[in-house]
A and B are shown apart, each in its own frame.
Chain A
């Protein structure tokens, strides 16, 4: 079942504002990833994190792998209209036989002009 709690479920922000979303779990993860899905398309990888404490940026996006290995956050600075979409966190559970990804339920982001 679902082992990642992603919040918030949805956000409405003004263009230019910063955005923050996060994923938490009671389990430990070896890998954290953030994907974005545009309407009618498949998810696209934004950032991958492989070490606890790692902070990685991709343009206006910054993501961190929590030091406890149980959480991760994604920040978007100075939002623009094309940031609209659904953002998913995903992780690979530590110690799991399967190395498959577990996905959060997504954060729907709306950017208002």
Chain B
């Protein structure tokens, strides 16, 4: 196991409510990522972080924000959830930005009604 814990693992919420997903790692890696997985789309990058307070947008960042105040925690926030954000969210870590070798968490399934 790569020492990645995502919480919550499952959440059902209503449109318009805020949601925060947490990713916690015990590997002390600088590089962390949030992906969403949807049928027919594979995995798409939402946001990523290269260190504490160093974050950037990925391919599908609209409607999402992130924060990284500690090396071990990377939070993904949906300020006002919409039904289009129903998805499975994966956190990943890597030893460096160039390898492409990611270690994924077990995922958080979010349903927005």
Evaluate contact between B48 and A43: CB separation under 8 angstroms: no
Interface string of B100-111 (1 = CB under 8 A from A): 111111110000
Closest B residue by C-beta to A92: B100
Evaluate contact between B43 and A88: CB separation under 8 angstroms: yes
Evaluate contact between A42 and B42: CB separation under 8 angstroms: no
Q: Nearest Cβ in chain B — how far from A67, in angstroms? A: 19
Closest B residue by C-beta to A88: B42
Question: What chain A residues lie within 8 Å of B99 (beta carbons)?
Answer: 31, 48
Question: What chain A residues lie within 8 Å of B58 (beta carbons)?
Answer: 100
Evaluate contact between B100 and A33: CB separation under 8 angstroms: yes
How many chain B residues have a CB neighbour from A under 8 Å?
A: 25
- Among B35-51, those with CB < 8 Å from A are 40-45, 48
Name the contact of A43 in the complex, choosing from B43, B56, B98 (C-beta under 8 A).
B43
Question: What chain A residues lie within 8 Å of B56 (beta carbons)?
Answer: 98
CA distance A112 to B42 in the complex (A): 24
Interface string of B54-72 (1 = CB under 8 A from A): 0010110000000000000
Name the contact of B107 in the complex, choosing from A31, A33, A41, A104 (C-beta under 8 A).
A41
Residue A45 CB within 8 A of the other chain:
yes
Residue A90 CB within 8 A of the other chain:
yes
Name the contact of A105 in the complex, choosing from B40, B100, B103, B104 (C-beta under 8 A).
B40
Interface string of B7-40 (1 = CB under 8 A from A): 0000000000000000000000000010000001
Q: List 19 A-B contacts (CB under 8 A).
A: A2-B41, A6-B42, A31-B100, A33-B100, A33-B101, A35-B102, A40-B106, A42-B90, A42-B105, A42-B106, A43-B90, A45-B103, A48-B101, A88-B42, A92-B98, A99-B100, A105-B40, A105-B41, A105-B42
Chain B residues near A (Cβ < 8 Å)? 4, 33, 40-45, 48, 56, 58-59, 90, 92, 97-107
Chain A residues near B (Cβ < 8 Å)? 1-2, 4, 6, 31, 33, 35, 40-45, 48, 88, 90-92, 98-101, 103-106
Beyond A33-B100, A42-B104, A103-B42, 9 additional pairs, beta carbon < 8 A: A4-B42, A42-B90, A42-B105, A43-B43, A43-B102, A90-B43, A91-B100, A92-B98, A105-B41
